Homo-oligomer: A and B are copies of this chain.
């Protein structure tokens, strides 16, 4: 049930033993939100564990607190009185962590996705927050939790990654103000940027070249799409982990409004990432294919499909959505 942040705080204050859960395929915000909640709750004297049912990309582990997040197996016997999910818009996003909930709803859910369905006892979601890490920080401020440099740094991680390092349209004055406060408290943004962005591999560059060979730009240069097939991944000795960031590169092409990357991994499963630059709400396309996300970044995934057929129908839909938005902008 949708509640206020003050309701969340009241519930948290009553907690003694907490389980914080992030989503599968964890990104910087999910990881940051779990680890930051853990740090905050410990400072409040509570017992806390954090769980993510998926591998945490290795490079995040040099951010303080991240390596303390556990997996489902490690927490089977953990007893808690309060469960909190972060950055998950629906229960399926937490994967096998759901088993730790033992058929109960999460006590608290914190989220910033437009597509949030409200699946906890106390839900707080508001898509105007750039990151869940921002909600977590605001909560900590309200509760008067004192930050040290490690806590400040892991908290800033989520704000930085979910805003594309302060470049996306979700950056408002508050995002920069919170970043300023976290740096004041000892967070090092250059360290975060180096950890998250400077670990590319040569095989990744070669895969990028192969992806660029598939690039098509149409609709007067406004729609760009490319693919990475399972075969391409295998021949470059890569996995779908290695395509992170590729879709952002496609969007960075001059004149492109909508960028789409199709990744087949494993075979016959197609994962699709959508990005837009200025005016198209790409979550509309993702929702059509069973996915979700934000206006400028969304995604979906389909199993047992043929890559080229999937591409055909998604591109067709994308053309329609792009045209709809162009018609709107011509009217106004």
Which A residues lie at the B interface, using CB under 8 A? 164-169, 171-177, 179-181, 183-184, 188-190, 193-194, 197-202, 205-206, 208-209, 212-213, 215, 217, 249, 251-254, 256, 277-278
Contact = CB atoms under 8 A, between A and B. Distances in A.
Contact of A199 (B179, B198, B199, B254): B254
A199 B206 CA distance: 22
Q: How many copies of the polypeptide does the oligomer hold?
A: 2
Cβ-closest 7 pairs across A and B: A176-B180, A209-B209, A167-B193, A173-B184, A199-B254, A169-B190, A177-B180
Contacts of A171: 183, 189-190
17 contacts: A165-B165, A166-B179, A167-B197, A168-B193, A171-B190, A172-B183, A173-B180, A173-B181, A176-B180, A198-B253, A200-B253, A200-B254, A202-B217, A202-B253, A205-B215, A205-B249, A208-B209
A71 to B, nearest CB: 25
Contact of A277 (B165, B189, B198): B198
Contacts of A215: 202, 205
A201 B254 contact: yes
A206 B200 contact: no
Contacts of A188: 169
Give the interface centre of A174, A190, A249 by most chain B CB atoms within 10 Å: A190
A97 to B, nearest CB: 30
